[in-house]
Chain A
């Protein structure tokens, strides 16, 4: 099964989905451990969320994760990207695809293996 979104920061990556409702890197993710408030790690994962939200400090958290080798591989959103998230993804070279169809949320569940393509395509492996 595959979906097509808008590639904002392009790249080809493969990884396991980490599902969250919405993402704010500041507050939700510990920059030192790469763990979410619920203990799950974002490191090397493909974060799938409906939208981003919250603090404008988020880019620094993403950047810190990149410096420590704990960054996620990609972020996939249903809504359009907020400039805060785009800045974080650009500075940290994390693939960002937005404007995915809403139906993608039903299929892209936790631990599903996906491949993300530079043209914004997302394929379940």
Chain B
């Protein structure tokens, strides 16, 4: 790999031991992938920060960098953790051991001390990081968190590979990543397109199922192109989160959404019928009542929660309790809009900084039947042994008052 003089100085340890180690790992991964050089990044977002996910080895990995004197050289945010730091009991029946809490706190402390902003969300784009740090179309960033990577590339026109937890952490320290894949314009141009015609715009659950279908069909190295009608931003987010769950695809060129020219390289069009989507969704749907409804994987947006409040105001408080996970930043806006207490009165529990997947919730609640509008949540909750179902939430609320 070609390195600049400055990068060689970093590797030689002139900027400290931690920075040298971080860049060494990035160079090794870049070389393994065949990258010719490194590039500067404007922002990093770190995944793999929940103690539930990474355990002691992960905690030691992060703490060691902090002890070695590492500092983030670019604005950096990180993913949700294993409980709501502001209100640890916000998720009902979540059991937290004091040692567990101490371990999670030490991870957060180490990240904060290295310079991370405490957003604790998988949707940093809803927490205003793009505006705050002047990130605009074409800028290179280094994000972990597969769903945020797909959203950044496909909706925001930012450029990032799926860095993964430790590598996004190293990129935050080094302020650089390897020039490869999604950072290269030509690599972002689709060659295979998927068309879906549906009677109505796809809602979140349908969009997630479509994401799984495309993820399993697509084997071209370039991003797929998709022509479909989505009911709104939450559906697009759920679609991309599903793609990130079911494949290693970092981007989908969505017609009418992705803010860049797809080029003229599409050589194959695959048609997917709405019946296929509907059929798959039915196989994942609950039969009969469920115990809780879960929304906000990835973390919900302000608009989505405003919409939920409106729906529930019309229908009245549902019999089934609703749990929503979102960022502290969106929660603050909910409070300002007077919506947080309103949602609470309508049977909605709001958890910040965490979610059902990265918290230890499923460990003690294996028999709780959970209906969600998120394919990603459905997939991981099931993998963790929970009874999860995918459903059209607004339809579900109307038929199960």
Chain A: residues with CB nearer than 8 A to chain B?
A: 8-9, 26-28, 31-32, 37, 51-61, 63-64, 66-68, 79-91, 96
Contacts and interface: CB of A to CB of B under 8 A. Distances in A.
B32 A28 contact: no
A31 to B, nearest CB: 6
A84 B383 contact: no
Interface of B: 25, 28-29, 32-33, 47-48, 53-58, 60-61, 144-146, 149, 161-168, 180-181, 215, 219, 221, 244-248, 379-380, 383-384
Interface of chain B, main secondary structure: helix
Given A83-B162, A90-B29, A56 B380 contact: no
A84 B162 contact: yes
Contacts of B161: 83
Given A56-B162, A57-B144, 9 more contacts: A55-B146, A57-B165, A81-B33, A82-B162, A83-B163, A84-B162, A85-B248, A87-B29, A90-B28
A83 B47 contact: no
A27 B55 CA distance: 14
B32 A27 contact: no
Contacts of A32: 55
A64 B164 contact: no
Contacts of B164: 56-59, 83-84, 87-88
Nearest to B61: A63
Given A9-B32, A59-B164, A86-B29, A54 B245 contact: yes
B359 to A, nearest CB: 14
Given A55-B146, A82-B248, A83-B161, A31 B55 contact: yes
A96 B31 CA distance: 13
A57 B54 contact: yes
